């Protein structure tokens, strides 16, 4: 599927581009620096059109008290000491007071946050999603956005994952069921035409 249009009221939602996540050297298929650069280009273009940019960050209490409590098959979740500044937004995106900052404590950007309220108050009908990790924060947020009735567009070269295969699975199998996909350049081209 390709990006066909962007609604007049579209927001860019940036998932977890913060020091402790964007600093991961093992991301695939796109290095974090490329994801950040492409996301920053999209953010600049949205700001130029006076469209909202939402910067979503994840944080957690050191004792794990605010973590999701469900049982899992994976390794047990132990309380962890996070490095100072791990949950601070990357410099390339920070510093714009007009941006909306949403803090989450789980994978998706909607559950337990005011993201839906922030978008609806502004009349937003569509979101463009970028960030890290494709199969975790981005996919969880895309699923929730779709369920909330938003048109969803995913900039597939402005996201990456801990594994190229999980990224590919989301892009090829999941995202086409939730919205439209395209590259950063394709989305910028549609944005320029839509808001000319």
- Distance (Å, rounded) from C-alpha 133 to C-alpha 107? 9
pLDDT of residue 157: 98
Residue 142 gets which letter from DSSP?
H
pLDDT of residue 83: 77
pLDDT of residue 64: 60
Q: What is the mean pLDDT of each run of 10 residues along the chain (196 residues)?
A: 91 97 94 98 98 95 64 68 86 97 96 97 98 97 98 98 96 97 98 87
User: How do the domains of the chain map onto residue ranges?
Assistant: 10-60+83-194
pLDDT of residue 61: 65
Closest by CA to 108, choosing from 72, 74, 146, 76, is: 146
Asked if residues 80 and 133 have their Cβ atoms less than 8 Å apart, the reply is no
Measure CA 41 to chain center. Answer: 14
Asked if residues 12 and 67 have their Cβ atoms less than 8 Å apart, the reply is no
CA distances from 136 to 16, 118, 174 (A): 10, 22, 12
Quick check: helix, strand or coil at residue 162?
Answer: coil
Question: Domain 10-60+83-194, what architecture?
Answer: 3-Layer(aba) Sandwich (3.40)
- Distance (Å, rounded) from C-alpha 162 to C-alpha 121? 34
pLDDT of residue 62: 61
Asked if residues 133 and 108 have their Cβ atoms less than 8 Å apart, the reply is no
Which residue(s) pair with 152 in the sheet?
127
Per the rule left: phi > 0, alpha: psi between -120 and 50, beta: everything else, 126 is: beta
The size of the chain, in residues, is 196
**What are the backbone angles phi and psi of residue 174, rounded to the nearest 5°?**
-95, -50
Say if strands 151-160 and 180-182 run parallel, antiparallel, or are unpaired: parallel
pLDDT of residue 1: 55
Residue 101 gets which letter from DSSP?
E
């Amino acid at each position: 599927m390709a990006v066909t249009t962007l609604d007049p009221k579209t927001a860019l939602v940036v998932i977890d581009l913060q020091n402790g996540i964007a600093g991961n050297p093992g991301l695939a298929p796109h290095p974090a620096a490329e994801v950040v650069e492409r996301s920053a280009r999209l953010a600049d273009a949205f700001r130029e059109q006076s469209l909202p940019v939402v910067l979503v960050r994840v944080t957690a209490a050191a004792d794990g008290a605010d973590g999701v409590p469900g049982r899992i098959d994976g390794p047990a979740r132990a309380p962890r000491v996070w490095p100072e500044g791990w949950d601070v937004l990357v410099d390339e995106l920070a510093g714009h007071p007009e941006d909306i900052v949403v803090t989450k404590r789980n994978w998706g950007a909607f559950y337990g946050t005011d993201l839906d309220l922030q978008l609806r108050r502004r009349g937003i009908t569509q979101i463009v999603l970028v960030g890290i990790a494709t199969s975790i924060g981005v996919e969880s947020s895309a699923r929730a956005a779709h369920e909330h009735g938003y048109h969803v567009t995913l900039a597939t070269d402005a996201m990456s994952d801990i594994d190229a295969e999980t990224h590919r699975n989301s892009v090829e199998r999941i995202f086409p069921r939730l919205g439209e996909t395209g590259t950063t350049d394709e989305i910028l081209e549609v944005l320029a035409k839509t808001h000319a």
